[in-house]
């Protein structure tokens, strides 16, 4: 059974940094592209970033480009999201999602974690 467990969320001041982690199990981690999707309180889903199975290709939404960095450590089956220069509008539940194939292209999110809440406030 695929399991994705996010951690690292919390309260941070505007301008601060936070690193989210997502531990994957129940599948061959390196064989799947991964992504982060967020949902602000009372709002819809927003794609944030994707990374290929090898880690060689990364993509970002314009709203986070230059501030967030996605990475992965395949030997430990862990996905990361380094978030810098955080703003109030980054407040959301952040979901880790496994895509349906090894590449980002021509695939889509297929399995989801339960999410971790990030609150940016002074």
Decide if residue 116 touches other proteins (CB under 8 A): no
The region of 7-15, 18-26, 37-45, 74-82 touching other proteins under the rule CB under 8 A is 37-45
The region of 9-17, 18-26, 74-82, 110-118 touching other proteins under the rule CB under 8 A is 110-118
The most distant pair of C-alpha atoms in the chain lies apart, rounded to whole Å, by: 40
Give residues 76-105 in contact with other proteins (rule: CB under 8 A).
Answer: 95, 100, 104-105
Half-sphere exposure of 103 (CA within 13 A, CB side): 2
Using CB under 8 A, pick the residue from 23, 47, 91, 117 that binds other proteins. 47
Question: Element (H or E) spanning 117, and its range?
Answer: strand 116-120
CA 37, CA 71: separation in Å to the nearest integer?
14
CA 117, CA 17: separation in Å to the nearest integer?
14
For other proteins, the binding residues (CB under 8 A) are 35, 37, 44-47, 50, 57, 59-61, 95, 100, 104-115
């Amino acid at each position: 059974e695929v399991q994705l467990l996010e951690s690292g969320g919390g309260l941070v001041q505007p301008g601060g940094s936070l690193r989210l982690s997502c531990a994957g199990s129940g599948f061959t981690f390196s064989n799947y592209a991964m992504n982060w999707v967020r949902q602000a309180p009372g709002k819809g889903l927003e794609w944030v970033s994707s990374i290929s199975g090898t880690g060689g290709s990364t993509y970002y939404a314009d709203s986070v480009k230059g501030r967030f960095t996605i990475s992965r450590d395949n030997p430990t089956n862990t996905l990361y999201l380094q978030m810098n220069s955080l703003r109030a509008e980054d407040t959301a539940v952040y979901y880790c999602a496994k895509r349906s194939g090894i590449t980002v292209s021509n695939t889509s999110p297929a399995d989801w974690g339960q999410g971790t809440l990030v609150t940016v406030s002074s």
